[in-house]
């Protein structure tokens, strides 16, 4: 078969003509879940991507707060219970697509325990994550409203207890949330075309989406809202009294004056706080920037750091209209992202630029899912991963997330004007720590005295370890989506053969660990293609 014919045959598999290749099934699951498993690879290969996505859209959300509450008694620190719940559900929940998209949203609509207001409120963080899980495949307009009224977000961006202006004292409404909702959660700083490119004025300059005056107008909208359990208006709360209920409004603390919104829309004076909030959020939801802004954010979190303008345009159109006249349908947006020709074939047409560096947490989660990690207690006591991996769920250092979607690694990437968001975490020190963390997990024995330590199940690899080629074939699909280079295969084979097969479990376990370690610490595993 000629090279051209071979490429054509591969492309036919990738777009769904004939049975799906197991390697492509694994690559698809690397994008859509917290990591492929053998069973899920076989299922996608059997039923196809479309059917798998539709199945996932129909699955009920698996919620974190109930599991966190059940685990609290097992941990001295509630933060560790929240993290154990997150790891358990992210790794084992059947609604993997929903959980994976919720994680992407958690890095767009950011709240963080790194903030002093939330550091000792794990219940609020678990409830906020559930808000993302519930809405991950729903409508973005609903998500915007639930985020706005979330007490976790209200604490993080300080619009909880935001009082109306007082000209006597000089009090002004807090502007944090008004600013970040526009800049980071919906519109961005600059006006966009549908394909994500910048609109330019007559002088060829970018056009700001909003100005300080608009921030001040929207800040007045978000006044009067506070804790659901309070009987009087204020910001203070006893943690033991808190609930996960949305914030409620005290109308006499809401600015009821007229407000001018984006596009010149005027909210008339005397409306209820609820009316003001609805119309203000509607004005942002209907803005032309929202579809391309969110489309690009989701694409780079899920698929590739450098989507083409045509890819962004196609997804923005689905955001505008899901085919049934509905705007903001995230379920259909996500399906469109994963089934787009660029998501499926981009690595064949532009292997140099296509893809993304995997986030450290996703490199870790893929390893754990691939080898069915379990602990004796059934608790996923993986601890705080900030040090080893530079990331912790809902633990970003600021509202700008762990890394910027516009980060460009100095050198060839910046020189080519490409983006490499996750490289912002990839310092020399962090790179060593990530490799060390992954290696330690591979070496962790089932004889560990820590009942909460998830241990990898290496027995499927041990069963193949007598045959180096069979072992590498299995790991190639499971960890690399069938993309292992000849060079990596040769080096991994040499590492396996350093331990001759003695026909016993001990030698085969060592051969399996050698192969697994060599692949997991390789640059090829670090990249999602």
Model confidence over 389-404: pLDDT tens digits? Answer: 999 999 999 999 999 9
Of 399, 400, 403, the C-alpha closest to 389 is 403
Instruction: Report whether pLDDT(362) > 60.
Output: yes
- 363 and 427 together in one domain: yes
Are 320 and 439 found together in one domain?
Answer: no
Inside any domain, residue 368: yes
Encode pLDDT of 178-192 as tens digits: 999 999 999 999 999
Same domain, 315 and 395: no
Across 202-220, average pLDDT: 98
Bridge partners of 329, per DSSP, are: 139
Claim to verify: residue 210 and residue 334 sit in the same structural domain = no
Residue 135 lies inside a defined structural domain of this protein:
no
One domain for residues 337 and 369: no
pLDDT value at 7 more than 50: no
CA-CA distance, 129 to 65, in Å (whole number)? Answer: 8
Q: Which residue has the tokens 């970003």?
A: 396
Same domain, 319 and 440: no
Q: What is the pTM of this model?
A: 0.95
Domain assignment of residue 76, yes or no: no
Cα separation, 230 vs 227, whole angstroms:
6
Tell whether 341 is covered by a domain. yes
**Does 316 lie in the same domain as 254?**
no
Return mean pLDDT, the chain.
95
The last residue of a domain, from among 261, 285, 309? 285
The two tokens of residue 440 are: 């330690």
Provide the pLDDT for residue 1.
32
Largest CA distance in the chain: 86
Paired with 394 in beta bridges are none
Query: Does residue 233 sit in the same domain as residue 312?
Result: no
75 inside domain: no
Number of domain units in the chain: 3
Q: Tell me whether residue 373 is exposed, middle or buried, using C-beta atoms within 10 angstroms of its C-beta: 0 to 12, 13 to 18, 19 or more.
A: buried
- 3-state secondary structure (DSSP) of residue 206: strand
Comparing 67-71, 91-95, 219-223, 352-356, which segment has the lowest mean pLDDT?
352-356
pLDDT over 80 (residue 30) = yes
Evaluate whether residue 275 is within a structural domain: yes
Which of 230, 253, 285 marks a domain boundary? 285
**What's the mean pLDDT in 504-523?**
97
Quote the domain boundaries for residue 512.
3-36+356-528
Q: What are phi and psi of 293, to 5 degrees?
A: -65, -50
Give the model's confidence band at 5: pLDDT under 50 very low, under 70 low, under 90 confident, else very high: very low
* pLDDT value at residue 17: 44
Q: How far apart are CA 320 and CA 352, in angstroms?
A: 31
Residue 71 covered by a domain: no
pLDDT in tens, 465-483: 999 999 999 999 999 999 9
Tens of pLDDT, residue by residue over 223-260, are: 999 999 999 999 999 999 999 999 999 999 999 999 99
- Please give the backbone phi and psi of residue 171, each rounded to the nearest 5 degrees, phi first: -65, 135
Q: What is the average pLDDT across 42-50?
A: 97
Q: What is the pLDDT of residue 76?
A: 77
Q: Are residues 313 and 243 in the same domain?
A: no
> What are the CA-CA distances from residue 83 to residues 90, 296, 361 (Å)?
10, 28, 12
| pLDDT for residue 48 is more than 80 | yes
325 pLDDT band, cuts 50/70/90, is very high
Instruction: Name the domain boundary from 329, 349, 369.
Output: 349
* 480, 378: one domain: yes
For residues 364 and 334, state if they share a domain.
no
How many other CB atoms are there within 10 angstroms of residue 116's CB atom?
Answer: 8
Query: pLDDT tens-digit profile of 299-323?
Result: 999 999 999 999 999 999 999 999 9
> What is the distance between the alpha carbons of residues 402 and 205, in angstroms, rounded to a whole number?
29
10 has a pLDDT exceeding 60: no
Beta strand 527-528 pairing with 356-357: antiparallel
Q: Evaluate if residue 268 carries a pLDDT over 70.
A: yes
Give the separation between CA 186 and CA 136, rounded to whole angstroms.
Answer: 15
As a whole number, mean pLDDT of residues 425-449 equals 94
Q: Do residues 212 and 303 share a domain?
A: no
Comparing 4-8, 63-67, 74-78, 295-299, which segment has the lowest mean pLDDT? 4-8
- Asked whether residue 107 is assigned to any structural domain, the reply reads no
Q: Is 217 exposed, middle or buried (0-12, 13-18, 19+ CB in 10 A)?
A: buried
- Report the pLDDT value the prediction gives residue 353, as an integer from 0 to 100: 86
């Amino acid at each position: 078969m000629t090279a051209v014919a071979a490429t054509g045959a591969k492309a036919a598999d990738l777009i769904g003509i004939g049975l799906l290749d197991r390697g492509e099934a694994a690559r698809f699951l690397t994008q859509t879940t917290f990591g492929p498993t053998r069973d899920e690879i076989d299922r996608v290969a059997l039923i196809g991507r479309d059917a798998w996505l539709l199945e996932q859209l129909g699955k009920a959300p698996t919620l974190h707060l109930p599991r966190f509450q059940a685990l609290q008694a097992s941990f001295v620190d509630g933060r560790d219970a929240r993290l154990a719940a997150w790891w358990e559900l992210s790794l084992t929940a059947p609604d993997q697509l929903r959980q994976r998209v919720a994680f992407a949203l958690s890095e767009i609509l950011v709240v963080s325990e790194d903030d002093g207001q939330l550091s000792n409120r794990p219940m609020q963080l678990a409830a906020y994550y559930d808000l993302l899980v519930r809405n991950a495949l729903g409508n973005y307009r609903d998500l915007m409203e639930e985020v706005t009224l979330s007490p976790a977000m209200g604490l993080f961006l300080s619009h909880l207890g935001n009082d109306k202006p007082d000209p006597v004292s000089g009090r002004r409404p807090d502007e944090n949330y008004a600013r970040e909702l526009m800049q980071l959660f919906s519109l961005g700083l600059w006006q966009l075309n549908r394909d994500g490119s910048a609109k330019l004025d007559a002088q060829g300059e970018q056009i700001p989406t909003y100005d300080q005056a608009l921030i001040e107008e929207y800040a007045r909208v978000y006044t009067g809202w506070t804790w659901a359990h309070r009987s009087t208006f204020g910001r203070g709360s006893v943690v033991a009294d808190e609930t996960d209920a949305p914030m409620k409004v005290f109308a006499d603390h809401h600015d009821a004056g007229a407000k001018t919104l984006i596009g010149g829309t005027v909210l008339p004076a005397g409306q209820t706080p609820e009316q003001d909030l609805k119309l203000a959020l509607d004005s942002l939801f209907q803005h032309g920037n929202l579809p391309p802004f969110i489309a690009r954010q989701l694409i780079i979190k899920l698929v590739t750091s450098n989507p083409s303008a045509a890819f962004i345009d196609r997804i923005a159109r689905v955001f505008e209209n899901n085919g049934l006249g509905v705007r903001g349908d995230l379920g259909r947006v996500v399906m469109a992202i994963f089934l787009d020709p660029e998501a499926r074939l981009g690595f064949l047409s532009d292997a140099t630029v296509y893809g993304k560096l995997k986030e450290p947490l996703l490199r870790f989660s893929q390893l754990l899912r691939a080898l069915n990690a379990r602990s004796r207690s059934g608790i996923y006591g993986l601890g705080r991963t900030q040090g080893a991996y530079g990331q912790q769920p809902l633990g970003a250092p600021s509202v700008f997330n762990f890394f910027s979607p516009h980060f460009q690694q100095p050198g060839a990437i910046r020189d080519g004007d490409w983006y490499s968001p996750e490289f912002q975490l990839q310092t020399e020190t962090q790179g060593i720590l990530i490799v060390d963390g992954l290696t330690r997990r591979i070496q962790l024995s089932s004889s560990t005295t820590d009942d909460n330590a998830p241990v990898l199940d290496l027995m499927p690899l041990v069963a193949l370890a007598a045959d180096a080629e069979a072992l590498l074939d299995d790991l190639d699909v499971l960890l690399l989506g069938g993309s292992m280079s000849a060079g990596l295969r040769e080096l991994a084979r040499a590492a396996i053969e350093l331990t001759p097969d003695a026909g016993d479990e001990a030698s085969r376990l060592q051969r399996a660990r050698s192969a697994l370690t060599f692949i997991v610490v390789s640059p090829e595993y670090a990249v999602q293609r």
